[in-house]
Amino acid sequence: MNVDEMKDVREFRAGAPKPDRARLAAGRDRLSSAAGRGRGRKLRADWRLAAVGAAAALTAVAVLASGLGGGGHSGAERTVPAATRTVPGSVKELLERAASTVERADPPPTPHAGQWVYEKKLSASPEEWPKSAAAQPEPEPEPEPQEHWARYADPRFENGKEGDDRSMRERLRFLDELPDDPAAVLKKVRAYYPSGKGNPESEGEHDMGALSVLFKSQPIPPQALAKLYRALAAVPGAEVTDHLVRDLAGRDAIAVGNDEKGQKVRREILIDPHTYQYLGDRLIVVKDYKDSFDDVPDRPWKAGDLIFQNALLATGVVDHKGDRP
Please enumerate in sequence order all residues whose Cβ is within 8 A of that of 164, keeping only pairs 6 or more positions apart, or say none.
Answer: 46, 47, 192, 193, 194
Q: Strand 252-258 vs strand 61-63: parallel, antiparallel, or unpaired?
A: unpaired
Contact residues for 121 (Cβ-Cβ < 8 A; gap 6+): 29, 145, 146, 148, 280, 310, 311, 312, 313
Question: CB 205: neighbour CB atoms within 10 A?
Answer: 25
pLDDT value at position 47?
39
Give 187's pLDDT tier (boundaries 50, 70, 90): very high
Each residue's pLDDT tens digit, 275-316? 999 999 999 999 998 888 777 788 888 999 999 999 999 999
pLDDT at 191 over 60: yes
Phi, psi of 279 (to 5 degrees): -105, -30
Give the tens place of pLDDT for each residue, 109-152: 889 999 999 999 999 988 777 666 666 666 667 888 999 999 99
Contacts of 229 (CB under 8 A, 6+ apart): 95, 96, 98, 99, 102, 276
Q: For the ranges 38-52, 76-90, 103-117, 199-213, which has the lowest average pLDDT?
A: 38-52
Contact 294, 300 (CB under 8 A): no
Span 78-103, average pLDDT: 84
For the chain, how many residues are written?
A: 325
Lowest mean pLDDT among 53-57, 91-95, 123-127: 53-57
Residue 30 has pLDDT above 70, yes or no: no
Count Cβ atoms below 10 Å from residue 185 Cβ, excluding itself. Answer: 23
Task: Give the range among 28-32, 207-211, 246-250, 296-300 with minimum mean pLDDT.
Answer: 28-32
* Axis-axis angle for helices 222-233, 168-176 (nearest 10): 70
Give the dihedral of Cα atoms 313, 172, 275, 68; nearest 10 deg: 10
Distance CA 102, CA 55 (A): 12
**CA atoms lying within 13 Å on the CB side of residue 174:** 26
**What is the average pLDDT across 221-249?**
96
Overall average pLDDT of the 182-204 stretch: 89
Exposed, middle or buried, 138 (CB in 10 Å: 0-12/13-18/19+)? Answer: exposed
Per-residue confidence (pLDDT) for residue 42, from 0 to 100: 27
pLDDT of residue 82: 53
Cα–Cα dist 268/24, whole Å: 12
The H-or-E segment that residue 169 falls in is helix 168-176
Annotate 15-41 with b (16+ C-beta within 10 A) or e (fewer): bbbebebbbbbbbbbbbbbbbeeeebb
Strands 306-318 and 116-124: antiparallel
Q: Between 187 and 31, whose confidence is greater?
A: 187
How far apart, in whole angstroms, are the C-alpha atoms of residue 156 and residue 3? Answer: 9
| CB of 227 closer than 8 Å to CB of 95 | no
Percent of the chain with pLDDT over 90: 55
68-72, 82-86, 237-241, range with the lowest pLDDT: 68-72
